[in-house]
Chains A and B, each alone.
Chain A
Amino acid sequence: MGVNSDPLLGGEGFLTTTIETLANWGRKNSLWPMPFGTACCAIEMMGVFASRFDLARFGAEVARFSPRQADLMIVSGTITYKMASVCRRIYDQMPEPKWVIAMGSCTCGGGPFDSYAVVQGIDEFLPVDVYVGGCPPRPEALIDAVIKIQKKIEMQGAPLV
């Protein structure tokens, strides 16, 4: 992007950019998260949305409980195989472009649950963009993950279809 305030060209100033950059700028600053909370990490995620940590400062406060209106899935909590098909279906229902944060040790790699019922990391069935370790991670860590997603959108973006 570049700013031009030449009086010959209108005086007030204008920007030159590409449509894709503009769209990605909008996407990155207004992420609409779909909270997929299944366990204790979801409590920490609520803390991130609430006033003390306030994810609204990064434009991502509009938690949508419908995948149709979301572009960032925050999977927070233990995912069992029975839940995994639900999780995958909800991800499939989200419109493109979309990103995924795996929040907490359980979603990253099964956490303490090395058992017959628990998925050992949601990357078995979902394309994860950012992994956040911790049990549960501090709210700052989730905010950092959102900022990393923003950087990813800024640098890689997504094609305009």
Chain B
Amino acid sequence: MSVDLEPVIDSLKNEFPQDIIDIKEYRGETTLLVSKERIFKICAYLKDGLDFTFLADLTAVDYLEVKSPRYEVVYHIHRFGPECEENVRIRLKAELSEEDIEIDSVTPVWSGADWLEREVYDMFGIEFIGHPDLRRILMPEDYEPFPLRKDFDVRNREASKRSFEKALEEGAD
């Protein structure tokens, strides 16, 4: 799989010489570390220039006390092809620090990113600039913490109880 990706990576390197920070390969999967300022341009180029039409997943990781910057937003992008070797997948990562927890939304590129970005916002509190409707998607809308952050106690039900009681009061009308 990685062999087939060479032209893609060369093309990306030509187009964005400053913004491909690191390239890692592990068990046939290729991961590019890119600068978060250019994530929208890189994604748009991958889709329009290199035919990566499918965003398979968009998620985030919290590396609290493991490394700095703390957060990484992860993009799994797929290209379908009539030939087997054209059917490739690439992973992009963009680092976000705790102080500047914003990144450009890629929803204008792949509309499927809409709910995925809402989920990342819901769980990690990462703001996606330019997202059409950035609201919580799983937790109640008035819920305050971000549950997948590593400094959140997963057994802490207090915020959930508050949202539940508020929902009960609103329903009583």
Contact = CB atoms under 8 A, between A and B. Distances in A.
A57 interface: no
B171 A115 contact: no
Contact of A117 (B160, B168, B171): B160
Interface string A100-116: 00000000000000111
Interface stretch (A17-25, A33-41, A83-91): A83-91
A85 B168 contact: yes
A82 interface: yes
Interface in B148-173: 152-157, 159-161, 163-164, 167-168, 171
A82 B163 contact: yes
Nearest to B161: A81
B156 A116 contact: yes
Contacts of B139: 82, 117
Interface in B43-88: none
A116 B157 contact: yes
A89 B171 contact: yes
Contact of B155 (A80, A88, A89, A115): A115
A84 B163 CA distance: 10
A63 B43 CA distance: 51
Given A82-B140, A85-B171, A116 B147 contact: yes
B38 to A, nearest CB: 35
B157 to A, nearest CB: 6
Given A81-B140, A81-B161, A84-B164, A116 B171 contact: no
Given A116-B147, A116-B159, A81 B164 contact: yes
A29 to B, nearest CB: 33
Interface string A109-153: 000001111001000010000000000000000000000000000
A43 B76 CA distance: 34
Contacts of B157: 81, 116, 120
A59 B160 CA distance: 38
Contacts of A114: 155
B167 A85 contact: yes
A125 B157 CA distance: 15
Nearest to A85: B167
Contacts of B167: 82, 85
A115 B140 CA distance: 15
A125 B164 CA distance: 10
A84 B157 CA distance: 13
A114 B153 CA distance: 11
Contacts of B161: 81
Most buried by B among A82, A116, A125: A116
Interface of B: 139-140, 145, 147, 152-157, 159-161, 163-164, 167-168, 171
Nearest 4 pairs of A and B residues by beta carbon:
A85-B167, A81-B160, A81-B164, A89-B171
Given A82-B164, A82-B167, 13 more contacts: A80-B160, A81-B160, A85-B164, A85-B167, A88-B168, A89-B168, A115-B154, A116-B145, A116-B155, A116-B157, A117-B139, A117-B147, A125-B164
